[in-house]
Amino acid sequence: MQPRPDRITAEERERIRRLPKAELHCHLDGSLRPETMLEVARETGRSMPRPDADSLRDYMLVDDAANLEDYLARFETTLAVMQTAPAIERIAYELVEDAARDGVRYIEVRFAPNLNTREGLPLESVVDASLRGLARAERDHGTVARVIVTALRHQDPRVAEELAELAVAYRGRGVVGFDLAGGEAGNPATRYASAFAHARRHDMACTCHAGEGAGADSVRDALHGCCADRLGHATRLIEDASLLDYVIDRQIPLECCLTSNVQTRAAASYEAHPFRAYFDRGANVLLNTDNRLMSGTTLTDEYVHAAVRLGFGFDELARVALNSFESAFLPLAERRRLVDAARAEIRALGGAAAA
């Protein structure tokens, strides 16, 4: 029987918080501070659906979604205050600051820059602002931060191609990957294959949301149709035994997000999530928040959920953390430095996974 969520001690939680972690699946526009949303709204003459930080936080928490599309609808509220360069820079900075307090040593922040151009801000200015915020936070807090440019499935493939070109243009300047997100139903990843092809031709790493809002065929589409290097969510990959074997054999990283998968009904509960099954089979699994605001979570929370709902011990969590560092879209030498530093921290915490 799995231990109950209220059985973890404060000391055990603090040890998990101190565990060095990397986060590879975190959306910038899903991870704002409510206080910042209100301040930016006042500064730019906008209104928010709630008047104070606590009630706005409660409003933004998606605990009643019927599906993925329902969950995604909340993003219109955050995007409303992400249309100026100062706001984007501030939000990027604060996300890394929050992650650093959460024991995160490396983070890849993803977003669709074209959603931040509604009031005339050029795509390049959007990316530049995010990179300034991340770089400043890295200097102040020590957490290494990079960007993944994300295209959206509901938009025209030509938009995805433009975003792939943008990602390539910033390769080596803070952007480390290209991604496809959004509602999967009726929007196969192969519709955007040309964008992925452009990224790959220019040696840009690629990830792809798949198996969250649709079945294992969506994962197959992302892998074999778009040649994704990593998979976002892949919750329903477990429905295809052959494809799961393929993913395990090649150690393709799975960017798992427990809380948001429960919220979007991709998983019926934490206990029903395939994360434990994937790990036990030897899959290269990673833990992530997805959207810190909409999911009301931190990366420490996600590791705690794995511990208390899925029975992960500290050494197993340390292995998951190392998986994340090893799967980062960074040059090998940089990954090795992060992995070596994480192993040393894990050893200091009494973990055996670093041996």
**The predicted structure's pLDDT at residue 6:** 52
Residue closest to 104 by CA, chosen among 148, 149, 145: 145
**The predicted structure's pLDDT at residue 133:** 98
**The predicted structure's pLDDT at residue 1:** 32
Please report, for residues 32, 118, 259, the alpha-carbon distance to residue 63 in angstroms, rounded to integers and kept in the order given. Answer: 17, 28, 10
- C-alpha 136: how far from chain center: 20
**The predicted structure's pLDDT at residue 18:** 98
Q: Which of 138, 212, 302, 316 is catalytic?
A: 212
Q: What residues of the chain score a pLDDT lower than 70?
A: 1-6, 353-355
**The predicted structure's pLDDT at residue 355:** 45
**The predicted structure's pLDDT at residue 4:** 44
**The predicted structure's pLDDT at residue 69:** 75
**The predicted structure's pLDDT at residue 261:** 96
Q: Do the beta carbons of residue 299 and residue 290 sit within 8 Å? A: no
**The predicted structure's pLDDT at residue 306:** 98
Predicted TM-score of the model (pTM): 0.95
The answer to whether 212 is a known catalytic residue is: yes
Alpha-carbon distance 205 to 210, whole Å? 16
**The predicted structure's pLDDT at residue 45:** 94
The structure tokens 């430095």 sit at 337
**The predicted structure's pLDDT at residue 227:** 96
